[in-house]
Structure 1
Amino acid sequence: MAIRSRRRVAAFAAALLAVSLSACSGEEPTSDDLSGNRVGAMSDYGVNSQFKATEALNFSILYNNHPNYPLKNEWLFWSELTKRTGVTLQPTAVPLSDYEQKRSLLIGAGDAPLIIPKTYPGQETPFVASGSILPVSDYLDLMPNFKDKVAKWNLQPDVDQLRQLDGKFYLLPGLHEDVWTDYSLGVRTDILAQLNLTAPKTWDEVYTMLKAMKAAYPNQYPMSDRWSKPTPGGALFNFMSPAFSTNGGWGYRNDYWDASAKKFVFTGATDGYKQMVTYLNKLVKEGLLDPESFTQDDDTAIQKLATGKSFVISANAQELVNKYRTTMAETLPKATMVKIPQPAGPAGDVKAGTRLENGIMISKKARDSKNFVAMMQFIDWLYYSDAGQEFAKWGVPGTTYNKDASGKFTLAPDVDYVKLNPTATKHLQKDFGFGNGVFAYGGTTQLLQSTFSAEELEYQKAMDAKQTLPLAPPHPYEDAEAEQATLWETPLKDHVSQMTLKFILGQRDLSEWDAYVAELKAKNMDAYIELVNKAYDRFAKQRG
């Protein structure tokens, strides 16, 4: 492992001290001379100013092309954006299925567009060392709306999660006012009524509910799940794991923050992870959870639900309305289904989440553009101002939506979105380009919930009452540490994933758990966690 020189240590500590002081004030130090990069920029741009370039500008952007609303050049979004800002975006469209791979190839080849959105926290890290992307934290003085929301919503601890070893961050995240969660279990409420059951509030009650369903329908699995490709248990493990003091599925990380011990532990070897696996094994062993849940595709799982072969499935608000209820209406017209609040578990009535959304990387070459300042102002307006966020989500007043004096949004009568106007002939995303995941995320809780049904608002109210678990602190690696961690992380994660399924499906007996932990140790589990905690201790000490 490389040993840093005293000069490097001193320089790094000084840099972190400067960043720490600036973070406390919500400021980032900017020493760059940008006098030659202000063409098209506004001289009086500020919080909630309408950005309008002083001359017509064009910016390239990587575009995640979603199959549910494929890109159209004639969308009102494009023309109205240019009308309001003087900026024309030039999208490089990449299919959703290939987005991450194509993004990496373009950045690696130096061919990436200037603006690189739809990047989730952590996905920027591989591009930092090469210098391919900009340390955006150096330029926050150009982004008054971003800084305003971080200060107003006390988001600095969340944003600090993004800092790399140099104390800077390289991703402009989407910012939410509050933590919110969407995924949970979808449950057939007509079956609950038939069996005189109430919706479960804990995972023990979920077990009791599934047992009652199995007793009434002994020849089928009460629960058959989805969202297991490419990550087995992707959604289910992700939303159930906080209740077991662990993480899993889409949110699995080898390092789990033990807040009480104030250190990282290896996730796949913790008691909490074992409890979760043991619980799921019991469901499979007793015929309550379809073992194909971890290998079948989504369509197969939905078909089982729609034909009455299952009654419980992982859900989110949009799929509940657009897929489950719509499909069952054709095959089981008397069926009813709700999304229940995430059940409580051994860890209590808790939820996990961050207020950061996927965000934007900026290509390093943007810094040399004469329009750099204008581009940063434009991004700040579109992604972080109240007006820009409302525009990206809802569109044009009088055309796609209306808003009353109380701030309530309603879609135009002939426009639909998430089944709010199911008989409308036009669609907000497909026909106008608004509500687009490339541009519309983050914002106030009022804006977030403006498209929620009364039912979803009740769900969110129940979730708001839960205790939010603390965020894991940052632990950026030195270069040599990062290389070593990468060598260890993948084999460890793969072994956890494979053995998790074997334990759940009964292909490996849970009595072999200690042997499994020994296998993880043989794959450098202890050395890996020691490395993580060393990085955490160093960063915490240097940050003060």
Structure 2
Amino acid sequence: MFRRSWRHAAAATAALLALTSITACSDDPAESQDLSENRAGAMDGYAVGTQFKATEPVSFPILYNNHPNYPLKNDWLFWSELKSRTNVTLEPVAVPLSDYEQKRSLLIGAGDAPLLLPKTYPSQEEPYVSSGAILPVSDYLNLMPNLSDKIEKWNLGPEIDTRRQDDGKFYLLPGLHEKAWHDYSLAVRTDILEELNLEVPKTWDDLYLVLKAMKAAYPDVYPFSDRFSQPNPGGNLLNILAFSYGLQGAGWNFQHTSWNAQAQKFEYTGATEQYKQMLQYLNKLVSEKLLDPESFTQTDDKARQKLANSQSFVISANAQAVVNDYRPDLSRNPDAKIAKIPLPIGPAGEINPADRLENGLMISSKARDSKNFVAMMQFVDWLFYSDEGQEFAKWGVEGQTFVRDAAGKPTLAPDVDIIGLNPGAPKHLQKDFGFYNGVFAYGGKPELVQAFFSEEEQQFQEVMNARAPRVVPPPHPFTDEEREQVSLWATPLRDHVYQATLQFILGQRDFAQWDAYLAELKSKNMDSYMETVTKAYERFRDKNN
């Protein structure tokens, strides 16, 4: 009906370069701008606790990350109920999950991006800032009372500051959590642990010993065969290991810089001693045939197949993967049991790497000229940041997808399942109704975020919440000129880190060549990159202290 497919890729072969041709929007805060011609459909008196409903029918195009686990359907209850409640029709521009980032860049570069650009992760907005392709959303917080209220009540100012650019503004509306929570870790066949008299590994060193014991008992098996490696090799594994080694992120969350709190300076992540130690650990697992070398290239389906066939016993996981993927995969083996274990502890100690901000929404600067601009900002505020909108996006419609108990607490309707909470129920909250959709449902109060957590996931969170939060690095926003220069250095540096990372892990390159690798990074302007980061950090620090 209103589904549109991605298009115009051919017109955008040089996407990021084309961004410079898009006219920049005003830098004036909304209070000083004349929005009288942009209020069609907007509500008067919209505030916290107000049900947003446009005063006339409006529609907004939105880039839609089409997840294979719950592919887009035009007849979802989500769409019709959203229109009924808000008088808004969303027009999805459907893009496959696997191509989302690339095609988003191409669409923006072609000047053909939809107005709403969700599922954008921190720093992904930066290439589009200087061109004016995306809106400085912080200029319009007065149009978003729910967002402003949560930032203030939850004391999120320090985290929000890390998203500001050198002009003091931020360009990405982030998902907000009242409390940090961490999801990704490893899942382990606990029946194999019991069979071999092994404890659940608490540290990465413990995991090594567990894998060795599994290998001794099952010599023809790679005990650990991983997934989440496409499009970023070792996507999750490298990321959670990086946190455990005190780095800001690697793999699918690769961060060029990590903050050294002791030295009070930024360091290039891929050149640190911690990064080297992390790769040495993984190389040890591969060389001793404890970790399947295909882990860094194979598809998720291939990794799941190996787990299902008892060709492996350990795999990356989040809460949904354990329930939706691994347990059904293992159902043919009545003795098989699997569980997600607390994130193993590494040299950085017991830390919870979770951030209270997560992926969020960019808004095309073209929206500012729309007659419905104010209504759009009110709608976004209600859907993504109001308690009512967040409950709707996650739970759905009372009486159809959920009911309330005597205390008013939502519970799934008996005929609706999600994450195995109602096993055997004929309908699925995501697949059949479109709710709990990663494009719309994230963040909120702990009782909302943890609403679908099983008892075992609650126990996982209890362990993780007892750990100290990781240090939030200080802001270091670039000027337009710095950003342009850094963007030229960033891709060759990242690509070389990725390439060398795999070579060191798989034994294709000896660690005796580490110094040569560092020299290669220097030849790709690593030192200049870090000098720019340091300059930006010191400038922002001095300006705001």
State the TM-score, normalizing by the size of structure 2.
0.92
SS in 2 for 1:64: strand
The equivalent residue for 1:388 is 389
Post-superposition offset of 1:114: 2.1
- Structure 1 partner of 2:290: 288
Residue of structure 2 in register with 1:113 after alignment: 114
Match of 1:272 in 2: 274
Cα shift at 1:68: 2.2
Q: What per-residue deviation string (whole Å, max 9, x for no partner) do you get for residues 20-41 of structure 1?
A: xxxxxxxx77311222222222
Opposite residue 319 of structure 1, the aligned amino acid is A
Aligned residue number for residue 234 of structure 1: 235
- Match of 2:357, as an amino acid? L
Shift of 1:106: 2.5
Give the letter aligned to residue 453 of structure 1.
S
Q: How does 1:357-436 map to 2 (within 5 A)?
A: 357-436=358-437
* Cα distance in 2, alignment partners of residues 173 and 439 from structure 1: 12
Aligned equivalents of 2:116, 2:489: Cα separation in 1: 32
Task: Tell me if structure 2 keeps the 8 A contact 1:243–1:351.
Answer: no
CA distance in 2, matches of 1:252, 1:155: 24
SS in 2 for 1:528: helix
Aligned residue for 1:104, secondary structure, equals helix
RMSD: 1.7
Q: 1:405 to 1:138 in 2, by over 3 A?
A: farther
SS at match of 1:450: coil
Distance 1:308 1:474, change over 3 A: same
Q: 1:305 aligns with which of 301, 304, 307?
A: 307
Matched residue, 1:25: none
Please give the per-residue CA displacement for 1:283-332, whole angstroms capped at 9, x wherever unaligned: 112221112211222222111111111111111111111111101112x2
5 Å-filtered alignment, 1:80-159, equals 80-159=81-160
Deviation at 1:441, TM superposition (A): 1.2
CA separation in 2, counterparts of 1:78 and 1:448? Answer: 22
- The worse-fitting range, judged by mean Cα deviation, of 90-99 and 306-315 is 90-99
Q: Is the 8 A contact 2:165 2:479 kept in 1?
A: no
CA distance in 2, matches of 1:392, 1:515: 51
> What is the number of equivalent residue pairs in this alignment?
518
For residues 54 and 512 of structure 2, what CA distance do their matches in structure 1 show?
Answer: 66
Secondary structure at the aligned position of 1:256 is classed as: strand
For 1:269 and 1:306, how far apart are their aligned partners in 2? Answer: 37
Aligned 8 A contact 2:161 2:475 in 1: yes
Q: State the partner residue of 2:182.
A: 181
Mapped partners of 1:219, 1:69: distance in 2: 36
Query: SS state of the match for residue 331, structure 2?
Result: helix
| Aligned with residue 257 of structure 1, among 234, 256, 259 | 259
Q: Give the equivalent residue in structure 2 for 1:319.
A: 321
For residue 470 of structure 2, what is the amino acid of its counterpart? L
Distance 2:67 2:282 in 1: 33
Contact 2:134 2:362 in 1 (8 A): yes
Structure 1 runs of 4+ aligned residues shifted over 6 Å read: none
3-state SS of paired residue (2:94): strand
Q: Counterparts of 2:116 and 2:509 in 1: how far apart (Å)?
A: 47
Asked if residue 70 in structure 1 is aligned to residue 71 in structure 2, the reply is yes
- Residue 135 (structure 1) shift: 0.9
Deviates further, 193-202 or 95-104: 95-104
- Please state how far the C-alpha of 1:405 moved relative to its aligned partner: 4.0
State the secondary structure of the residue aligned to 1:208. helix
Distance in 1 between residues matched to 2:475 and 2:76, nearest whole Å = 41
Asked whether the 8 Å contact 1:402–1:410 carries over to 2, the reply is yes
CA distance in 2, matches of 1:463, 1:352: 9
SS in 1 for 2:450: helix
> What are the residue-to-residue correspondences of 1:461-500 with 2, within 5 Å?
461-500=462-501
8 Å Cα contact 2:225-2:315 kept in structure 1? yes
Question: Partner of 1:164 in structure 2?
Answer: 165
Question: 1:518, CA displacement in angstroms?
Answer: 2.4
Q: For the Cα contact (< 8 Å) 1:176–1:442, is it kept in 2?
A: yes
Q: Unaligned 5+ residue runs, structure 2? A: 1-26
Question: 2: CA distance between counterparts of 1:513 and 1:101?
Answer: 32
Q: Distance in 1 between matches of 2:207 and 2:183?
A: 18
Question: What is the match of residue 538 of structure 1?
Answer: 539
Report sequence identity in percent.
Answer: 65
